[in-house]
Amino acid sequence: MKYKYKVGCSIENLKGVRDFIRTSLKNHGISDLEVSEMVLAMDEMCSNLMIHAHDCNPNEIFELHILVDKDDPVVFEIIDEGTAFDINQFKEPTMDNIIHEKRKGGLGIRLVKSIMDSVEYEQQRNKCICRLAKKVNFN
Amino acid sequence: MVQIKRLQEDGVDIITPIGEIDASSSIELDLTIAKSVGEGFTKILVDCSALEYISSAGLGVFMSYIDEFKDKNLKMVLFAMSEKVANTFEILGLYELLTITKDKVEAKKLVQ
C-alpha cells in the first residue's frame, strides 16, 4: 500500500502530518508503540525541513509518501524541491552540550537516528527524495 | 494543540499539559514553566497524564531548565506519563537527566 500526503511548510501543519501517518498505519497490524515511534521520527524530519529549508513558508509544499507492505520494512519518502539537509552529515551535539548550551536542535536528529534503521537521500533533477526505513513486527 | 492548566497544592505548583506538544506548541510549555519560576515557586510538578504526545521541541524545553533549576535549587518532577510518552523520554536517556516518577504521591514526596 502507498499513502500520499501534501503539506505546506507551516509548523501548524505538523498535527496533520502525525494524523496522516497514524491513519495510514492503523490497519496494518503494527503495534501502537512502533507506530508512535515512527510518527515521532517523521514529525522531527518534517519540522526540520519546514523550519530550516523553507523558513516555515506555508506556500512551499513537500510530499510525504508511506509504503507499507506486510513483512517489509515501512518506508517513508519525503519529496521536496531544492537541496537536502542531510542529517547523516550532521554531527549531533552531546547531551551535555544540549543541556549546558541549550542547543535544542540536536535532539530531534538523535531521535530520528535512534528510531529509524536507515536514512538515505537521492537527488533527482530538481527533486530531493529523503527515504527513511524501519523494520517492524506485523501481527 | 496543547492546553496547559496550573494548580497550586501545598506550596507546590502543578502544571498539567493537555494534548500534544510539538514544534508549534512547545512555547506554551516554556512560558508556563517560566511563569511558575517567575512567581517564585521552587517546587514544580508536571502532571503528564493528559499529555498525548511530545516531540523534541518539548523535551528541549525541559532540558533547557536543568541548569537553572540546579543553580537556584528548584525542584521539578514529571509524573504519570503514558507508555508512548515515557518511551520518547527513554529513547534519549532522559530518565537519567530529569526526575520522572509514576504518580503524584511519589512526585510530591520527591520535591518535599
- Which pLDDT tens digit goes with each residue over A78-125? 999 876 778 888 777 788 887 777 666 689 999 999 999 999 999 888
Query: Is A36 in contact with B60 (Cβ distance < 8 A)?
Result: no
Hey, what's the cell of A83? 537541496
pLDDT tens track for B32-68: 999 999 999 999 999 999 999 999 999 999 999 999 9
Tell me what pLDDT residue A97 has.
Answer: 80
Tell me what pLDDT residue A89 has.
Answer: 81
Query: Is B55 in contact with A108 (Cβ distance < 8 A)?
Result: yes
| CB contacts, 8 Å: B93 with chain A | 95
Domains of chain B plus CATH, in order, are 2-104 (3.30.750.24)
Sign of the C-alpha dihedral, residues A116, A120, A125, A128? positive
State the amino acid at position B103 in one-letter form: D
ipTM for the complex?
Answer: 0.94
Tell me what pLDDT residue A103 has.
Answer: 62
Tell me what pLDDT residue A99 has.
Answer: 79
The shortest C-alpha distance from B10 to chain A (Å) reads 30
Size of interface A-B (CB pairs under 8 A): 74
pLDDT tens track for A50-82: 998 999 999 999 999 999 999 999 999 999 987
| CB contacts, 8 Å: B56 with chain A | 44, 104, 107-108, 110-111
Query: Is A110 in contact with B92 (Cβ distance < 8 A)?
Result: yes
Burial A62-73 (b: 16+ CB within 10 A, else e): bebbbbbeeeee
